[in-house]
Structure formats: C-alpha cells, structure tokens
C-alpha cells in the first residue's frame, strides 16, 4: 500500500511549518505502508496541481495532507471539507479569494473516507492529545482537503483521502503568550500512528466523537 503524505511550506509570518517538519521526519515504511512525502506550496490551486502530479506519478492508495492549525491544543483529523475559499490573509503568492467555490461542479462538502475516529482513539491511547475536528477552516487547508476529495470523487474513486491539522511546535510559541503547542517528536509520532491506522483499517470505528457546537 502506498500513502502520499503532503505538508505545506510556512505561511502567515511563520518561518517554519510544523506540518512540513513532521512530514519530513516520517518513517518511509510504516506498518505495511510505503510513505511518499511531498512538500506543497501554501497557494490556492497550485497546491492541488502539485498533488495531482504526484498522484499521477505514484498512483497512491491514500492521500493525507497535513496542515498547521495554530491555536489548537492537539492533533485533529478533519471530518469534512466545504466548497468555499474565503481567505482572511493572502496565500504565499498573494491570492485572497473571498467566497468562491473550490470547484464549481463539486458537492457542497465532502466527508473524508479515512478512519478518523480510529486515528484519534489510537493517538489518545498512545498518550497524545487528539480529537476529531468538524472544520478545516476556509483557507488553503480546507481548499486542499476539498480538492483531494473532489478528485477522488470525480477521477480516482479507488483512492482514500483526508486531512490532519497539527498544532504549533514548541519553538514556534516561545515568544507567543498563552499559545498551545506540541513537540515535533510527538507530532511526528501522532502522524505515524495515523498512517498505521489508515494502512490497517478500512471502516472507521463507531463511537460518539461529536461536538455540541
């Protein structure tokens, strides 16, 4: 089994992106999965083009994208991506779409087909703060998650795909007051657990992991 794992380059004034740092550190063989890593730009559309190139080159079974969620306390697999681009800040090439579709002919939203609840459960079992998220925002992270699931839906129905948000790493918050973080080692460990679960699990577990609001 081949798993393509993508990480964004830094954005929003940060000099590193914890997602990319963790992706670089991943073992290239996890369980029975071969891990292929890919750096993608924090840029609308171009990020998706790079992913589709890699899909064509490697024909992976799974695409998992990793992104930074500054302010979150743990690792948060995403349940759903929505068909909207609404950028509060410019991306790394100056684009700032407001309330446009990711793909005009796409569904309003796509649900991931990764076993996100099992991923969360295994991370918590391993002593890592993790929970299921119901929003990937409206910036390039949601854009990439939506775009990958759109491609799966339209062209690559045998593939699975999804997105995992990770917190700042410790050194990023040294000068930020009251901002949560995790060590790069723990983030990497969490992602390797997720990849192992993905490689072994087809159907998600059925446990309540909802959010009141």
Give the per-residue SS3 of 16-79. CCHHHHHHHHCCCEECCEEEEEEEECCCCCHHHHHHHHHHHHHCCCEEEEEEECCCCCCEEEEC
Using CB under 8 A, which of the segments 26-34, 55-63, 131-139, 193-201 binds its own copies? 131-139
Binder among 41, 173, 196, 201 for its own copies (CB under 8 A): 173
Nearer to its own copies, 13 or 32 (CB): 13
- Residue 208 sits in the site that holds its own copies (CB under 8 A): yes
* Residue 165 designated active-site: yes
Catalytic residue among 21, 122, 165, 194: 165
- Residue 183 sits in the site that holds its own copies (CB under 8 A): yes
CB-side exposure of 90: number of CA atoms within 13 Å?
A: 5
* Residue 213 designated active-site: no
Closest listed residue to residue 9, CA positions, set 34, 48, 43 = 43
- Residue 12 sits in the site that holds its own copies (CB under 8 A): yes
Nearer to its own copies, 37 or 153 (CB): 153
């Amino acid at each position: 089994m081949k798993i393509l794992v993508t990480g964004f380059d830094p954005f929003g004034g940060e000099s590193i992106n914890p997602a990319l740092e963790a992706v670089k550190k991943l073992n290239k063989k996890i369980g029975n999965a071969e891990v292929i890593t890919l750096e993608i730009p924090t840029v609308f559309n171009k990020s998706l083009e790079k992913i589709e190139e890699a899909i064509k080159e490697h024909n992976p079974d799974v695409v998992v994208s990793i992104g930074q969620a500054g302010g979150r306390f743990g690792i948060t697999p995403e349940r759903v991506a929505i068909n909207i681009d609404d950028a509060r800040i410019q991306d790394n090439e100056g684009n700032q779409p407001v309330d446009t579709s990711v793909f005009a002919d796409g569904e309003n939203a796509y649900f991931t087909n990764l076993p996100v609840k099992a991923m969360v459960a295994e991370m918590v079992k391993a002593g890592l703060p993790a929970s299921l998220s119901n929003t990937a925002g409206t910036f390039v992270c949601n854009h990439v998650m939506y775009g990958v699931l759109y491609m799966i839906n339209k062209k690559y129905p045998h593939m699975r795909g999804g997105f995992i948000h990770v917190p700042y790493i410790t050194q990023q918050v040294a000068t930020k007051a009251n901002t949560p973080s995790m060590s790069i080692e723990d983030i990497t460990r969490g992602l390797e657990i997720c990849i192992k679960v993905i490689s072994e699990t087809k159907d998600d577990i059925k446990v309540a992991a909802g959010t009141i609001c």
